Structure 1
């Protein structure tokens, strides 16, 4: 069965991508600012995470019915890996190595089974 590219199928993925950018910054963005007090970091992260929820909740609500809950979660996890890989390289200036690529590929292969009929 070919992948549907209807707006109902695409919009949840777009919103999950955007929400993951916010959540990645909320969880890991502070690592560049280790001198900031922990309470400030936690409060700032909560503030950033609010916007993540404003995107993730509608994405899941719109997507459920087009995708199963398990498929939505799997989509979100794969997006998280992709966003985190880019974030790690461009924001944290950390290198990704071959073992990261293999690990991510194995996770993606496992994710593919969720979509198997």
Structure 2
């Protein structure tokens, strides 16, 4: 990909989309506790396939601009944001101050990964 702006932004968009799929794959079945475990495992694998179809290109394109550590950090922060929204609106769970503080510490760690050498 020759356009550096696209190589910088497209991985973020793809990682957000892939995390939406993965969050549904990992946690969506919690809304259906009476479904057989094998059924939810197979459904989760099917959903996760689409996550991989987005995450792998995100990392391949993103590695032109970001280090592997930056891509992984970005992915973790995106995962937390997507999970917080999913947990609140789909699972109807409340985010507590403990969750927010914990997520803030992870975001602080991400800041240092992207900051560069100290």
Q: TM-score range by the shorter chain?
A: over 0.9
Alignment of 1:13-28 (within 5 A): 13-28=12-27
The equivalent residue for 1:71 is 70
User: Does 1:94 find its partner at 2:100?
Assistant: no
The equivalent residue for 1:34 is 33
After TM superposition, give the deviation of residue 111 of structure 1 in Å: 0.9
Separation (CA, whole Å) in 2 of partners of 1:89 and 1:73: 24
The equivalent residue for 1:48 is 47
After TM superposition, give the deviation of residue 7 of structure 1 in Å: 1.3
> What count of residue pairs does the alignment treat as equivalent?
113
Stretches of 4+ moved more than 2 A in 1?
none
Structure 2, unmatched stretches of 5+, are none
Cα-to-partner distance string for 1:37-83 (whole Å, 9 max, x where unaligned): 00000000000000000000000000002000000000000000000
TM-score (norm 2): 0.94
TM-score (norm 1): 0.95
* Aligned-CA RMSD value: 0.9
